[in-house]
């Protein structure tokens, strides 16, 4: 069975799936580049490194960096909360 211009439904489905994955990848990568800055050859923030590794095709390293970033944020928030609780008079 042909769907569009002599292509089969399976080919169209594969094409749409490929487009969908690329859109999801762009949706996940774009905020990282907006939030993270990068002065070429001088600095690289964690979010830029995550985006770079994702675009290079190394999702395990990008996920590892993301887990490290989340762990750091949680630790800093816990420390700030602890300081606030000890500094407040009761």
CA gap 74, 48 in Å, rounded: 20
Query: pLDDT class for 43, splitting at 50, 70, 90?
Result: low
Q: Facing residues of 2 across strands? A: 8
* Cβ 16 vs Cβ 24: under 8 Å: no
Q: Which one has a higher pLDDT value, 66 or 27? A: 66
CA gap 36, 20 in Å, rounded: 25
Q: Which residues contact 12 (CB under 8 A, 6 or more apart)?
A: 3, 4
pTM of the model: 0.53
Q: Which one has a higher pLDDT value, 16 or 74? A: 74
């Amino acid at each position: 069975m042909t769907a569009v211009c002599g292509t089969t439904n399976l080919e169209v489905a594969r094409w749409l799936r490929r487009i969908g994955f690329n859109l999801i990848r762009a949706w996940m990568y774009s905020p990282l580049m907006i939030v993270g800055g990068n002065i070429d050859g001088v600095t690289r923030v964690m979010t830029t490194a995550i985006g770079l590794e994702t675009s290079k095709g190394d999702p395990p390293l990008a996920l590892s960096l993301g887990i490290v970033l989340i762990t750091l944020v949680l630790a800093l928030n816990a420390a700030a909360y602890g300081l606030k609780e000890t500094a407040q008079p009761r």
